[in-house]
Structure 1
Amino acid sequence: MAGTFSQIYIQVVFAVKGRQSLIHTSWEEELYKYINGIITNKEQKLLAINGMPDHVHFLIGMRPSCCLSDLVREIKKSSTAFVNEKKFCKHKFQWQQGYGAFSYSHSALDKVISYIQNQKKHHSKRTFQDEYKAFLTSYQIEYKDEYLFEWIED
């Protein structure tokens, strides 16, 4: 019987609106579990998730039938509602528009998973803005600064 076989690994990165540092360590794990539930319910596989107070990274194994933009839209919409309903923030929580999506081979997974798991250590040396631009440059993605996330001056 013929079948469809695939290996699609995507790292997704997106930021809190205005790049505000709203994701607090006291509830970030609950947020990540909630995002994992969305990914699982959409029949995708979460391989790693972590972030900083102003952004999140996750690596998924995708089925070819999945539309990445629909998945990210659902994650952002549902997780925004979750954070606001739980009243984790004093102010309204919202993700910025847009996201980065970067593909990887199976042989790179351990390195990418380690990178995501070590976000806090990694960002002690590099800002999110520098990290994100490095991704775009590494993947040879042309961009204009005015179309990137809204950057708050550090």
Structure 2
Amino acid sequence: MANTLSHVGIHFIFSTKDREPLIVDAYRRQLHLYIIGIIKKLNGHVIVINSVEDHVHLYSELPKNISISKFMQNIKGASSRWININILCYKQFAWQDGYAAFSVSKNNNSQLIKYINNQKQHHKNISYMDEIKLITNQ
């Protein structure tokens, strides 16, 4: 695939199992850095990542040699193992089955970056489920 050019920007949203508030400030930054490391190993590129207690927003370029489902399987599997091995959570940590994935135009990504960076403020006014409904226009 040396001659393959690909830019596929995806906005991912994935939550903790049962949307429990398990992502705490004590390890939030470490988790973000760990996920960035996973994506680098997959030859992807993180544009922005942020989270609140029960879910993560990730805007990333999808590596050209991996499907969206395999990409998320790698991220969620490795990050949950890392949290549990390092005993960063007061209970067994797991991600909810599934995820949301939305394509993003590189020309219009500044609004999304701002939105992801302001998650803590944003979720003072809107729940996770209401956010998903808003994003999907349902």
Given the two structures, how large is their TM-score scaled by the length of structure 2?
Answer: 0.94
In structure 2, the residue matched to 1:38 is: 38
Structure 1 residue 26: Cα displacement? 1.1
Deviates more, 1:64-73 or 1:88-97: 64-73
Secondary structure of 2:101's aligned partner? strand
Structure 1 residue 5: Cα displacement? 2.5
Deviates more, 1:11-20 or 1:59-68: 59-68
Count of residues in correspondence between the two structures: 137
In structure 2, the residue matched to 1:49 is: 49
Structure 1 residue 52: Cα displacement? 0.6
Q: Distance in 2 between matches of 1:108 and 1:27?
A: 31
Q: Distance in 2 between matches of 1:7 and 1:89?
A: 35
In structure 2, the residue matched to 1:127 is: 127
Q: Distance in 1 between matches of 2:56 and 2:132?
A: 12
Secondary structure of 2:81's aligned partner? helix
In structure 1, the residue matched to 2:84 is: 84
Structure 1 residue 99: Cα displacement? 0.2
Matched, 1:4 2:10: no
Q: Distance in 1 between matches of 2:42 and 2:35?
A: 11
Structure 1 residue 91: Cα displacement? 0.7
In structure 1, the residue matched to 2:19 is: 19
Secondary structure of 1:114's aligned partner? helix
- Unaligned residue ranges in structure 2 (runs of 5+): none
Q: Check 1:103–1:84 CA distance in 2 against 1; reply closer, same or farther (3 A cut).
A: same
- Unaligned residue ranges in structure 1 (runs of 5+): 139-154
Q: Distance in 1 between matches of 2:122 and 2:15?
A: 16
Q: Distance in 2 between matches of 1:108 and 1:125?
A: 24
Q: Is the 8 A contact 2:39 2:45 kept in 1?
A: yes
- Structure number with bigger Rg: 1
Amino acid at match of 1:57: H
Secondary structure of 2:93's aligned partner? coil
Give CA-to-partner distance per residue, 1:85-144, whole Å, 9 cap, x none. 111111100000000000111111111111111100111111111001122227xxxxxx
Amino acid at match of 2:106: H
Amino acid at match of 1:86: N
